Amino acid sequence: MSNKSTREKGREGEAIAAAYLESKGYTILEQNYFFERAEVDIVAYDQTAIVFVEVKMRRNTTFGEPAEFVTEKKQQLIYKAAEAWLYERKMDGSPVRFDVVAIVQNKNEAPDIQHFKHAFRPRG
């Protein structure tokens, strides 16, 4: 059993995801952006769009794949934070995308990273 807090595990996953995205040519614009109770783990730019990234990390897939934990409610909160981020920077109307980076990190193994582009879209 790991004695790391949920927040520490989250930060670890976000660091892995940020390094992965940078290795793919993304520019990290911000991490852990909060608006009210909504949060975006990573805001990045990939030369075509501003990408709002939700990071999910698990130690194993016993209870499902990490990406399956991005619920409808979580998606709505991410949209809300994304709108605020764009508004604050006067970037409304910019091309945007919502991705999920799913990481399975077993104790001493290299992380298994999956990047789901266009993982979800705003409704309405």
The average pLDDT across 12-20 equals 95
- On the question of pLDDT at 15 being above 80, the answer is yes
pLDDT at residue 2 is higher than 70: no
The full set of domain ranges for the chain reads: 6-116
pTM of this prediction exceeds 0.85: yes
Nearest CA to 75 among 123, 108, 28, 31?
123
Average pLDDT over residues 51-63: 88
Burial of 9 (0-12, 13-18, 19+ CB in 10 A): middle
In 3D space, the residue among 110, 90, 7, 122 whose CA is nearest the CA of residue 55 turns out to be: 7
> Is the per-residue pLDDT at 86 higher than 60?
yes
pLDDT at 64 over 80: no
Residue 98's region, left for phi above 0, alpha for psi from -120 to 50, else beta, is beta
Q: Structurally, what CATH architecture does the domain formed by 6-116 represent? A: 3-Layer(aba) Sandwich (3.40)
Least confident of 21-35, 44-58, 64-78: 64-78
